[in-house]
């Protein structure tokens, strides 16, 4: 277990230890992953996070990166949803990292949701679980909440059909619990829950319940149908008990285990076992005062070099202390690098 | 109302029934050049606009007319052959298509035959944009009349019923796209007398003789590559460096890296800059010796034919090899081989390449030049059929 995971997630003054562990990871991947070694061989010691090499997020769609080392047991491949490019990122998961990642997400979620377990309702289909050796990002995200759950219920009969709600399963949970969690991809949470026409019996059971909605996956589809964050949250929380809330978190399959929930003041906080840098898209330099591409780092990734990933998400590191009280680094997520059409002939 | 126009090809007199005088059409197109030099159309990049200006050269535009019919005849005599239009032309252009649309439209206008351009719903409509621009700027000309009355852009997605009608009504079908798209269009119910042209997935590459290259030829190579990266059918997807040692190939790569920023001043789009970072890592992971051009403008990678290339938009893959190896690895769907070599190498390369299926062997700087013979097919002449006169 990383010593960083033994402290609360939002803790200042652990940078030296973080850098030391990142260095160890970099060495592990250099030794165990030939592909990584070919492009990331930094021979001199580095004194700052920004000096450590990164893997571009798109590389996980082109090259299956795997680090082999004594004691590392590779288990499954985690696949992204491939919604925009049609090609999935593939992350080789290993046993040790999976344990660290589970501990990481649990600690972060507990900071935002509290420690008391409650039923978890997942807006997905159990069939999504049944692919041997592979796991979709959606299911992985849902299951990361499992340690906080007393029981799991998959609410959709068909993962691609938000109308396929299993009312019986929902009713059963509502009848027995006053507090619960609901997880779904942002778009599915909107379609399958916020826009859902609940039967009257279910609606009355929901009234006054304390519900924590957790969602991830991004706002693009909701922006396309002109749904604002305020409208989204107001619709979800309508009629629920005080203490109900909506947690929007940012995470990538290429950074599995590290999630960045949006705090009540609109920022995302960096846990002690992670770091976030912003890089200029043209010079590659780390910048602190402006928007650029986010580089996400963590000390959990052993089975493949996804410990330091340059994303195509745009963000800005924000200085000062957040009013929410969480110490350490914070940032704003500001969308994605805009894509221009590639013009050519037909054979791109 | 069409008329017969007379041409002379050697001893033979050719007549062609044309709706418009090709000289008038060409003059109207050429008249746009001075206006275009003053103002860049917002839908086009600077490179695209410059290419269009060059393309509208009067002499070049008349090339398909001369090639098909001959020179304009000074006197009329009984023709040996009469060319008549086949009729309505339908052109399929894929979503990401570039200048091909406007270029085809310009050339087809000279046939005088009605032309309908089928674009995808996501396509940037460069054909429509350019025809609109031309119509506005050529008032009271036959070209304006042709554009207004005989051209149409249709935004149709696969599965749209109107595609069947478009095929049924076309005397000439021209499909730019994938093998699958072309096969699907030509398989539809159509007139038995109609003709079809397919311009499908193609590969192109540039062959450089290390001993013949200099800063000017490197500059030309950079410019040609930077226009569309690897995305065009005429884009050099691979640079084949001949007659070089490994050390010389490294030096070649280094010179390209050094020169690039001064040749291509503008930054690429941010997502291309990011994609280049990925491509550089991809190439390195695959065993290429790759580096990013300053400000992430491109990737220049040196490897060999056996290495898997980084198939990324602005990743220039250079392979140093022998002529035998270059021929062995030349894909069967190669359209253009651009060359930079000495006259003696030119003869040898051409001789060896004539045993392959390539369609064009042109200087590197002319790789993107489009004309009425494309992929070995004279589509302009194909818009006519001839009546033999005895």
pLDDT given for residue B123 in this prediction: 67
Mean pLDDT of B316-338: 97
Domains of chain B: 3-200+375-388 (3.40.605.10), 203-366 (3.40.309.10)
pLDDT of residue A346: 38
Provide the percentage of residues in chain B whose pLDDT is more than 90.
88
pLDDT at residue number B140:
96
Give the CATH architecture of domain A3-336.
3-Layer(aba) Sandwich (3.40)
**Distance (Å) from the alpha carbon of B51 to chain A's nearest alpha carbon:** 14
Task: Tell if the CB–CB gap between A56 and B232 is shorter than 8 Å.
Answer: no
Chain A residues with CB under 8 Å of B273 CB are 281-282
Per-position b or e across B207-230, b if 16+ CB within 10 A of its CB: bbbbebbeeebbbbbbebbbbbbb
B178 touches chain A (CB under 8 A): yes
Q: Please give the ipTM for the structure prediction.
A: 0.92
What was the pLDDT predicted at A80? 81
Closest approach of chain A CAs to the CA of B297, in angstroms? 8
Question: Binning pLDDT at 50, 70 and 90, where does residue B253 land?
Answer: very high
Question: How big is chain B, counted in residues?
Answer: 390
Each residue's pLDDT tens digit, B165-204: 999 999 999 999 888 989 999 999 999 999 999 999 899 9
Say yes or no for a CB contact (<8 Å) between B232 and A345: yes
Q: Which of residues 258-287 of B touch A (CB under 8 A)?
A: 267, 269-275, 277-278, 280-282, 284-287
Domain spans of chain A, in order of start? 3-336
Name beta bridge partners: A149: A118
User: Does the distance separating the beta carbons of A339 and B281 come in below 8 Å?
Assistant: no
Record: contact A57-B278, CB cut-off 8 A? yes
Alpha-carbon distance A62 to nearest alpha carbon in chain B (angstroms): 7
Q: What pLDDT was estimated at residue A85?
A: 65
Helices B22-38 & B100-109 angle (0-180, nearest 10): 140
- Residues B90-106: pLDDT tens digits? 999 987 767 889 999 99
Query: A84-109 burial, b for 16+ CB within 10 Å, e for fewer?
Result: eeeebbbbbbbebbbebbbbbbbbbb
Residues of chain A with pLDDT under 70: 1, 43-45, 82-85, 129-135, 340-348
| CA–CA dist B326, B349 (Å, integer) | 10
* Residue in the block written with tokens 């298509």: B97
Quick: pLDDT tens for A190-234.
999 999 999 999 999 999 999 999 999 888 888 888 899 999 999
Q: Average pLDDT for residues B367-385, to the nearest whole number?
A: 95
pLDDT at A143: 85
Q: How far apart are CA B328 and CA B336, in angstroms?
A: 16
């Amino acid at each position: 277990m990383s010593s960083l995971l033994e402290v609360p997630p939002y803790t200042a003054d652990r940078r030296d230890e973080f850098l030391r562990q990142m260095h160890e990871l970099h060495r592990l991947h250099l030794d165990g992953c030939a592909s990584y070694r070919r492009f990331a061989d930094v021979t001199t010691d580095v004194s700052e996070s920004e000096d450590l090499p990164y893997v571009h997020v798109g590389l996980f769609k082109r090259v299956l990166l795997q680090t082999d080392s004594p004691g590392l047991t590779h288990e499954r491949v985690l696949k992204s949803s491939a919604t925009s490019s049609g090609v999935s990122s593939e992350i080789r998961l290993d046993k040790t990292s999976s344990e660290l990642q589970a501990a990481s997400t649990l600690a972060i979620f507990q900071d935002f949701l509290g420690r008391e377990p409650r039923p978890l309702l997942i807006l997905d289909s159990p069939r999504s679980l049944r692919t041997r050796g592979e796991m979709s990002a959606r299911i992985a995200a849902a299951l990361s909440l499992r340690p906080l759950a007393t029981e799991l219920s998959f609410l959709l009969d068909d993962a691609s059909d938000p109308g396929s709600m299993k009312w019986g399963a929902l009713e059963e949970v509502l009848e027995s619990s006053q507090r619960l969690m609901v997880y779904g991809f942002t778009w599915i949470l909107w379609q399958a829950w916020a826009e859902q026409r609940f039967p009257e019996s279910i609606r009355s059971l929901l009234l006054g319940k304390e519900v924590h909605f957790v969602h991830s996956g991004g706002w693009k589809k909701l922006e396309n149908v002109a749904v604002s964050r305020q409208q989204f949250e107001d619709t979800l929380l309508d009629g629920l008990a005080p203490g109900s809330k909506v947690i929007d978190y940012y995470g990538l399959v290429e950074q599995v285990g590290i999630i960045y929930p949006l705090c009540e003041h609109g920022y995302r906080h960096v846990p002690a076992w992670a770091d976030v840098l912003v890089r200029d898209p043209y010079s590659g330099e780390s910048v602190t005062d402006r928007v650029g591409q986010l580089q996400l780092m963590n000390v959990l990734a052993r089975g493949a070099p996804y410990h330091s990933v340059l994303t195509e998400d745009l963000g800005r590191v924000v200085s000062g202390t957040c009013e929410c009280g969480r110490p350490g680094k914070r940032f704003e997520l500001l969308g994605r690098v805009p894509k221009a059409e590639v013009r050519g002939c037909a054979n791109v | 109302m069409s008329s017969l126009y007379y041409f002379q090809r050697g001893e033979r007199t050719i007549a062609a029934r044309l709706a418009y005088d090709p000289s008038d059409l060409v003059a109207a197109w050429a008249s746009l050049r001075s206006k275009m030099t003053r103002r860049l159309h917002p839908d086009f990049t600077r490179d695209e606009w410059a290419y269009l200006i060059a393309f509208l050269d009067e002499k070049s535009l008349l090339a398909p007319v001369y090639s098909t019919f001959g020179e304009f005849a000074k006197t009329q005599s009984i023709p040996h052959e009469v060319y008549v239009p086949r009729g309505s032309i339908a052109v399929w252009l894929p979503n990401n298509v570039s200048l091909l649309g406007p270029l085809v439209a310009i050339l087809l206008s000279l046939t005088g035959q009605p032309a309908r351009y089928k674009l995808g719903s996501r396509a940037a409509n460069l054909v429509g944009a350019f025809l609109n621009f031309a119509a506005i700027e050529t008032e009271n000309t036959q070209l304006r009349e042709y554009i207004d009355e005989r051209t149409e852009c249709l935004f149709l997605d696969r599965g749209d019923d109107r595609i069947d009608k478009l095929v049924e009504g076309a005397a000439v079908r021209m499909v730019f796209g994938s093998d699958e798209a072309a096969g699907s269009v030509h398989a539809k119910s159509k007139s038995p007398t109609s003709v079809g042209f397919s311009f499908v997935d193609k590969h192109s590459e540039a062959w450089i003789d290390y001993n013949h290259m200099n800063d000017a030829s490197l500059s030309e190579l950079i410019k040609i590559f930077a226009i569309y990266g690897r995305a065009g059918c005429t884009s050099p997807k691979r640079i084949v460096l001949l007659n070089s040692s490994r050390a010389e190939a490294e030096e070649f790569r280094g010179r390209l890296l050094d020169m690039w920023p001064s040749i291509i001043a503008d930054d690429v789009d941010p997502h291309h800059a990011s994609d280049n970072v990925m491509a550089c890592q991809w190439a390195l992971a695959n065993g290429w010796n790759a580096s990013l051009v300053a400000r992430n403008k491109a990737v220049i990678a040196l490897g060999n034919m056996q290495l898997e290339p980084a198939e990324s938009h602005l990743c220039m893959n250079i392979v140093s090899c022998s002529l035998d190896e270059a021929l062995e690895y030349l894909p069967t769907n190669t359209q253009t081989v651009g060359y930079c070599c000495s006259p003696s190498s030119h003869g040898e390369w051409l001789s060896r390449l004539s045993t392959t299926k390539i369609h064009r062997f042109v200087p590197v700087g002319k790789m993107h030049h489009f004309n009425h013979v494309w992929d070995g097919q004279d589509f302009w002449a194909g818009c006519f059929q001839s009546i033999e006169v005895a």
